[in-house]
Structure 1
């Protein structure tokens, strides 16, 4: 079976990208998303390698292409994408692909149509109203907890599989949907304490099993009675999941797809208790993360990971399939601060944008998005064959991020090959030149139109020394130092844009060697270092620059007057050179 995973509206995948990964659980999903990608061996340190081509030939891609070519208006594009997901049989032949469209979630297309309703034509509005209306199906099953009404058909285009092993005249497929919906309902509301979904005209939440071009769709309907933008809703779920991409569920691919779709779509219904019009990227990334939380054995979300890890320089907030792969961000927040922080964020979203809501939720912990984002980028390096003890529980199953550069230090000024967007990063690996002695001085100068973070990780045998934040000033500049660089096998540098909006943010980055004893950090050992140390020791001056031990010229483990004497002897009496302190 050939699948097509569409190039969605807002998708940021460029014409050429980066390497795919070599991990065990991505399986066929990884092949689907990584079709025609250049595949590097696990653990490769080759830099700036991107996939050869990203080809998309499904209906969504055809619609996007027609729009970019000026053949469709924006309203036409929005309507046709809604049609491609909810009623693909109605598409004109020029926009209908021969490949089966499988959209992870149709909710973004519904939300986009509702948000842009006024630019649809009258005929388009009439058809869209039909698509969004609740369908009439011939049978209804009430879930065991009496929280859900599952509507289904036994025949026709929307027919569910009729297997009924327990002989109770209810198709097992339908009963499982009821079971999984009950499970996530209890988990979200009883265990985690989320607000219940706003009700419609009865106490049952309605789920419809239909032949749609998506795993599921959550459709907002009527405003709730709260002071914020809460809405009632209903859910559509695919009626059979036949020929959908595989997953890891031990009970089978169809059951796995049922589980994660219930978790994903009902999380959308729960989100609509707080803010039905929240930012799409967060709505989808959080719902995808709750697939993993609710049913960790399925791993359907692993199929989207290449879109995130292969493109670390892409906006965290990007649309398209990146929204689903960006579940890594709420996963980081939950791993770092507890799962409850995601409910706190939802509560803040009643009144604030998503990044403001995250900041507000982090404030009692003394944290901010800009402050923690550099650590997030470091965690994202330690996946696949690089997995260590400072990352996600399932990191070994995730693909490794590609390097923007791999080079020998020291090095003259470099600029990015793929400059990072807002809330994105580059990964640069440096290998100390043989015979290098001293402190490796990092000189970074980023565009002052955005805010930057800068981290580095030093590798020494099996030891990993993580520095998740060098201070960056308002002009985008930082100067850090790595003492005794000869001890290290390699150093990973991670410049990251920690503000949101601008793309393709440039920087210049150098790495030079400062000798031991260079207390003032000017790159050479001279009488000024003597003066600097005296000022520090006896006149309340500042400590040696970049690292305290750079001033420990006699390598005793302390900076004192003996180091002043040692430098003077070296400079004027042919004494030995300053040495590294190595306890």
Structure 2
């Protein structure tokens, strides 16, 4: 929901013209987008004939229980809420197309949408007979095609080799996709002792392809012409662009099968399709066919409050990890799946970022917050040097706009479903000076908050406060708090993201945002909590200090003998309020001295650690 109810000036904070204009323009854009989405949402059910594109039939064939030749095992994710078959619309974010019901309902083939069922049954009726065979240059792929009849491929042979150009190009794309995904990135090799088969078939109106089990390996089926498919950005045209990304997509399905036989959570519909769609952009980044699927209320941009995973439309969630962590991260995550095919996908991803459970939790929470900060800074809100490489081409995110000035305090409560988030944009008013102090109280420690400040000089600053246990809580609840490293006087607006990194449970939270002035002298506060105890599960504390000017800062911790045990800060810092975490794990119980030097000012404090 977008908020417009607090557009008013107060006695202590008037609204500068620039801030008001920024908010007003954002509100106008938001209104147009929301009006468009509302008109889509109220238009009634879409026609479920076979006129719409189907990105990949693999999951549906798994659900159907058999392909044109044999029975194959299917896997149903009973915990997933629903399955969306997304209809593309490059002009405006498209609506959901919920052609399937719950995955539990889809356990029987008679619950598959009629037009999907018709396509699968059509595959039965039109077998490939007497197909020609062409080996790719590497010898890894065996391409089956026909020149005439129902499954005929385009006949053009500009190369004069006697083989249709379409097939020669497809063979090159298959070899290149293998080179990128297996040889360069390092995923499991799906090609065994014999070449992997790729069939070219007329699989119905605008159906891209699918992959099925074929004994101990897989077989890929690709559309025979790709004529009249949704547009893409490939410089060689839509037809070859669709051919490229489909081969990359289906090869990743073959890799998934070679990794875990499509078992467990990682073998469920949403995860396999998000993963394969991501690989389209990794292998062929110039095509951008996935742009067709990331908009509307099915995608994260239009509906960040929707739980991940969602096939196709949440592909950018996966792309975040590829761009931010590198593809080696996904290789590590899938290696966890190879070792234990039943491991939940999120657990495999967490293990790929941390060496112990505590590190996994903290690091993964931070990554989920940053993932959503990247999504929120898309489209018209893109910041140079921050976020997705293609952020400017992505849809504008759905953000609740809080008009200037920032309410003091700004308070909100809510509940987030698993692996979801909420976005807000706040606009400081003239006369509001100081730093932002954010407190989020939540009922488990997988909630994180993040802020991106849009500075007046055109740059941006990201801030993700660390989560810490609240010593007064005994029921697993937590508190995330901190002071921003920037002054609101230097920003036009700041984006606030609240994200749930838990894969199993929703999270309830209370959010409080204050703007606090910076003192005119150096102030060193008592650490919090104090005392702090490893036995209570909290070996850490936070040391907070403020300074009015830019200074060289050194913050150190000593034991009572005068031995330095930690150097927490050492360098030039801007004026402001700083909250610095200190982890005493591995130290003996006792009293410790923390010493701050800020320019010529020196201050000390005492804290007590209990093992």
Distance in 2 (alpha carbons) for counterparts of 1:241 and 1:556: 63
| Counterpart for residue 392 of structure 2 | 396
Residue by residue over 1:182-235, the C-alpha shift from the partner in whole angstroms, topping out at 9 and shown as x without a partner, is 2212322222333222659x44424233233454333332564xxxxxxx2111
Q: 2:399, 2:424 within 8 Å by CA — same for their partners in 1?
A: yes
Query: 1:516 and 1:387 mapped to 2: Cα distance?
Result: 28
C-alpha displacement of 1:129: 8.6
Deviation at 1:467, TM superposition (A): 0.6
Aligned CA-pair RMSD: 4.3
Give the 3 Å change call, closer, same or farther, for CA 166–309 of structure 1 in structure 2. Answer: same
Residue 137 (1) aligns with residue 124 (2): no
Query: 1:302 offset after TM fit, Å?
Result: 1.7
State the Cα distance separating 1:103 from its structure 2 match. Answer: 0.6
Instruction: Give SS of 1:489's match.
Output: strand
Q: Match for residue 105 of structure 1? A: 56
Find the aligned partners of 1:182 and 1:56 in 2 and give their Cα distance: 46
State the partner residue of 1:508.
510
Q: Return the offset for 1:134.
A: 9.8
Inter-partner Cα distance in structure 2 for 1:203 and 1:466: 48
Deviation string 1:487-512 (CA, Å, 9 cap, x unpaired) is 43322211111112446x55432323
The TM-score with structure 1 as length reference comes to 0.68
Q: Distance in 1 between matches of 2:151 and 2:456?
A: 59
Partner of 1:340: 328
* SS class of match (1:356): helix
Q: 2:462 aligns with which of 463, 466, 479?
A: 466
Q: Does the 8 Å CA contact 1:379/1:391 hold for their aligned counterparts?
A: yes
2:39 paired residue among 50, 53, 75 = 53
Task: Out of 365-374 and 265-274, give the one that drifted further.
Answer: 365-374
Deviations 1:342-375 (A, max 9, x none): 2222221121221111112222595542232112
Aligned to 1:283: 272
Note closer, same or farther for the CA distance 1:450–1:555 as it changes in structure 2 (3 Å cut).
closer
Deviation, 1:452, is: 0.6
Please point out which of 237, 251, 255 is paired with 2:236: 251
Contact residue 268 and residue 287 of structure 1 kept, 8 A? yes
Matches within 5 A, 1:223-238: 224=216, 232-238=217-223
| Mapped partners of 1:47, 1:135: distance in 2 | 50
> Which residue matches 1:72?
none
Q: Is the 8 A contact 1:316 1:424 kept in 2?
A: yes
Cα offset, 1:312, TM superposition? 4.3
Give the structure with the higher percent strand. Answer: 2
Seen in structure 2, the aligned counterparts of structure 1 residues 57 and 266 have a Cα distance that, compared at 3 Å, is farther
**1:181, CA displacement in angstroms?**
1.2
CA–CA distance in 2 between the matches of 1:545 and 1:338?
Answer: 32
Paired with 1:553 and 1:147, the residues of 2 have a C-alpha distance of 66
**Structure 1, residues 441-483: CA drift from partner, whole Å, max 9, x if none?**
323334x267310111223312422112342545253332336
Could you say if the C-alpha distance between residues 478 and 314 of structure 1 is closer, same or farther in structure 2, counting changes exceeding 3 Å?
A: same
The TM-score with structure 2 as length reference comes to 0.65
- Number of residue-to-residue matches in the alignment: 463
Task: Note the C-alpha offset of 1:261.
Answer: 0.7
Contact 2:136 2:142 in 1 (8 A): no
Report the alpha carbon displacement of residue 257 of structure 1 after superposing the two structures with TM. 0.7
Paired residues of 2:439 and 2:512 also in contact (CA < 8 A):
yes
Instruction: Name the counterpart of 1:148.
Output: 141
Of 252, 260, 278 in structure 2, the residue corresponding to residue 267 of structure 1 is 252
Q: Which residue of 2 aligns with 1:383?
A: 378
Q: Is 1:174 the equivalent of 2:177? A: no
**Alignment CA distance shift 1:41-1:299 (3 Å):** farther
2:354 match: secondary structure: helix
Which deviates the most, 357-366 or 429-438? 357-366
Post-superposition Cα deviations, 1:144-193, rounded to whole Å, max 9, x if no partner, equal 33222222233333222222223333222222222211221232222233
Map 1:303-322 onto structure 2 (within 5 A).
303-307=292-296, 308-319=299-310
Q: Is the 8 A contact 2:119 2:204 kept in 1?
A: no
Equivalents in 2 of 1:253, 1:305: separation in Å?
18
CA contact (8 A) 1:264 1:291 kept: yes
Q: Is 1:205 equivalent to 2:207 in the alignment? A: no
Give the alignment of 1:500-539 within 5 angstroms.
Answer: 500-502=503-505, 506-517=508-519
Q: Is 1:378–1:468's contact at 8 Å kept on the other side of the alignment?
A: no
Deviation, structure 1 residue 392: 2.2
C-alpha distance in 1 between matches for 2:313 and 2:61: 20
**What is the distance in 2 between the residues matched to 1:517 and 1:291?**
53
Q: Does 1:294 align with 2:283?
A: yes
